[in-house]
Each structure stands twice: as structure tokens, then as C-alpha cells.
Amino acid sequence: MDWLQIASLAASVATVVAAVAVLVTALIYFGQLRAMTKGRQLESLLVIMRYADDLELRRARYFMFEHREQLAPLFAAPCSRDSRKAIDERIRVLSSGELTIYNIDLSLNALNNICFLIRYDYAPPDAVNAFMKNSLLHAWQNFELYIRHRRTRKDDIAEPSRYAEHLEWVVMTNCKPAPPASTRQPATV
């Protein structure tokens, strides 16, 4: 074996070793990426659980559930400072001063943040059914009039309001209510 063949063999071995090193590096990177994605999803689930269990936000959601009919006429007017003030005053009266429009907005923003995490795959879509399906369905039913009211707000930037759009998207795509019992097919054995 002359020195040219030895150099050629060494170059071939070096190429194979480099290719294996690149492959191992890619596999390690893929594993780290998968672990980071899983870690991000678990962290997002903790955020969702924290939002879902927040007593103040829950109180605001229940308030809207209980007083939806009394507040509905106020949501018919386009959003303005005067209509917002009227809604706030009515909320204060109905809640004996415990809640304000600010609490309602915080609750909606928390739900919208949860839905953002789900919509953009920061949290697994299964989190909707596991933790939030009924909460999101009820929240949408109870807050829809207020959300539509807020979307009529005039902006200086001439863009239509996108208030609570992530909440609406998740409810419309992931939280389909079950059909009424009278329309369900009987289970076959």
C-alpha cells in the first residue's frame, strides 16, 4: 500500500466519521427540540390550570353567567366611553360593589390567553377537553354579547377590533357542543 492509497483511505474514514457525527448531532438536536416542546407544553398547562383556578377570574365568569340577561340591553349600544361607564355602573350595582368591568375584562383576557396557547400549539389541544371545554363553552355563551359589543369599539388605527378572537376560534373549532339527546343515534351493541 503506497502513501496515496493510505491518504485516500484516511479521507474516506474521516468522511464517514464526519457523516456519523452530523447524524448523531442531528439526533441529539431533535431529541432536545422534542424535550423543549414537551416542556413548553407542560408549562403552558400549568398556566392554564392557574388561570382556571383563579378565584377572582372565576367570580367574574360566574357573575356574567348569573346576570347575562340584565346586562344584555347595555351591550346593544356600540362601544363608547358612555356605554362602558353604564355597563360598569350596572356591574357594580348587581355585584354589590365586588366586581367592575375591569374584572370582567381580566377574566376574558385570561380565557383569551389560554386560547392563544392552545391555538398556536404552545399547549396541547387536548387541554381544551381535559381542563376547559365546558368553561370555554359557558364563557363564550355568557360573554359573547360583551365581546361583540367590545368589537364595535372605534380604534384610532382604523383596524377592526379583534377582542377575544382566540377564545372564539378555540370554541368554534375545538369545543363543539354535543348534539341534543333527542338527535343522537342510539348506541348499537
Residue 31 lies in a domain: no
| Angle, CA 95 vertex, CA 86 and CA 107 arms, to 5° | 80
* Residue 165 contacts residue 157 (beta carbons within 8 Å): no
* Residue 92 contacts residue 100 (beta carbons within 8 Å): yes
Residue 82 lies in a domain: yes
The pTM for the full model equals 0.70
Each residue of 140-166: pLDDT tens digit?
A: 888 888 888 888 877 666 677 788 899
Stretch 60-77: mean pLDDT, rounded? 84
pLDDT surpasses 80 at 184: no
Domain boundaries, position 44 = 40-175
Residue 3 lies in a domain: no
Mean pLDDT, rounded, of the chain: 82
* Residue 75 contacts residue 25 (beta carbons within 8 Å): no
Residue 45 lies in a domain: yes
What's 76-115 look like in SS3?
Answer: CCCCCHHHHHHHHHHHHHHCCCCCCHHHHHHHHHHHHHHH
In total, how many domains does the chain have?
1
* Residue 118 contacts residue 128 (beta carbons within 8 Å): yes
Residue 28: its pLDDT value, please?
Answer: 93
pLDDT bucket at 187, cuts 50 / 70 / 90: very low
pLDDT bucket at 20, cuts 50 / 70 / 90: very high
pLDDT bucket at 189, cuts 50 / 70 / 90: very low
Residue 185 lies in a domain: no
Conformation bin of residue 64: beta by default, left when phi > 0, alpha when psi is -120 to 50: alpha
